[in-house]
Amino acid sequence: MARRSIKSNPDGKPDIRTVASLARVSIATVSRTINRSTAVSEKLSKRVWQAIEQLNYFPNTHARSLVSGRSRIVGIVVENITNPFFPELIASFEEVAVANGYELLVSSGKIENAAQIERIVRRMLERKVEGVAVLTFGSEESVLDQLAMHGIPLVLAEFVVDNPMVSTIEIDYATGVREAVEHLVGLGHRRIAYLAGPHTLHSAETRLHCFESSVVACGLRARKEWVVDGDHTLQGGVTGMQKLLALKERPTAVICSNDMTAIGVLHAAHQAKMSVPEDLSVIGLDDIAFTEFTLPPLTTIGLSRHALARAAFEALQRQAEPDEAHVGKRITTVGTKLVVRESTAPPKTR
């Protein structure tokens, strides 16, 4: 069998001509394939990618952006990188972006800090991002103003803006929170407390309102002393639980605004020599990976990071690569659902 001669650079490294030769296509076809052009048939595209993999060829993204005028970079901004929810969200967002031929630029920091806002915006502009997912869940206004001023497509979580360049991801907290309250009521709980998140976050306020309306819908009363302010941290969960323990009439169950708070509650209950779920039922929100490994494993309201990441990326992609079928679509809803584990059980006393 005759062997095909594969040309390469003088330095021995494969280049776009090497790929074209191995795939038996033109250099233009390789370029279009790498840039995800729809003008290349699925059969040819598959052949090109197989050649790229076989040669271990890495396209020059800088050169590609100069030729195409597009960076194929999207940004994501989060605030609290110490909360496992956000690294998990970033990982899911990167997975979706890379699968669609984009690179990811990550920024995090205290959004209320003017210097950090300037740094975040400057990085995004310098890298010529094609869009930014601002997933700070309630403190995005300052970043929003800066980025929107430069005409960068944005997607926000739970923040609707009257701007055609801005899309919104709405979280259906109501369904998951209602399922959590109904689950506890079904077990026999009537004294249900709630550890809230920061009032500065839209998401935390929405979760609180969902809890209050769900309790009323179940024929119970949301007592003021059983709703405690928190900050979505482990220590916030400990402090909040200590306040509930100091009450004359203690709740038999606690729903928390996020999983970090709930894990703090588990710790405080352990310190108080209380048994979960025998003495206290606990429910979190987010379903971060750690919740399967707490003692006991945490019942939580699940919010899929992958579904959220995919919705955010697709919203940005619609703006970068307009599709007639989705013109004008600016709001996408992501659902929540209760994940029952071992931190909930019937109360000792009713």
CATH number at residue 95: 3.40.50.2300
The mean pLDDT of 92-101, rounded to a whole number, is 90
Q: pLDDT class for 209, splitting at 50, 70, 90?
A: very high
The mean pLDDT of 195-205, rounded to a whole number, is 91
Strands 154-157 and 132-134: parallel
Q: pLDDT class for 6, splitting at 50, 70, 90?
A: very low
Query: CATH no. for residue 20?
Result: 1.10.260.40
CA separation for the pair 350, 348 (Å, rounded)? 7
The mean pLDDT of 86-97, rounded to a whole number, is 93
The mean pLDDT of 38-59, rounded to a whole number, is 84
Asked if 296 and 187 sit in the same domain, the reply is yes
The mean pLDDT of 22-29, rounded to a whole number, is 87
The mean pLDDT of 150-174, rounded to a whole number, is 87
Asked if 42 and 137 sit in the same domain, the reply is no
DSSP state letters, 130-174: S-EEE--SS--HHHHHHHHHTT--EEEES---S-TTEEEEEEEHH
Asked if 286 and 235 sit in the same domain, the reply is yes
Placement of tokens 């998140």 in the chain: 197
Tell me whether residue 323 is in a domain: yes
User: Cβ(95)–Cβ(89) under 8 Å?
Assistant: no
95: nearest Cα among 304, 332, 331:
304
The mean pLDDT of 73-91, rounded to a whole number, is 89
The mean pLDDT of 292-314, rounded to a whole number, is 96
Domain stops at, among 38, 68, 98: 68
What are the tens digits of pLDDT across the range 113-147? 667 777 888 888 888 899 999 888 765 666 777 77
What is the pTM assigned to this prediction?
0.81
Note the pLDDT of residue 141. Answer: 65
Tell me whether residue 44 is in a domain: yes
- Give the chain's mean pLDDT: 86
The mean pLDDT of 314-325, rounded to a whole number, is 75
Note the pLDDT of residue 139. Answer: 57
Note the pLDDT of residue 236. Answer: 97
Asked if 198 and 226 sit in the same domain, the reply is yes
Residue 1 predicted with pLDDT over 70: no
Asked if 198 and 285 sit in the same domain, the reply is yes
Residue 5 predicted with pLDDT over 50: no
**Percent of the residues in the chain that have a pLDDT greater than 90, as a whole number:** 51
Note the pLDDT of residue 177. Answer: 98
The mean pLDDT of 58-72, rounded to a whole number, is 59
Q: How far is CA 275 from CA 135, 271, 280, in A?
A: 36, 10, 7
Range of the domain at 25: 16-68
Asked if 192 and 288 sit in the same domain, the reply is yes
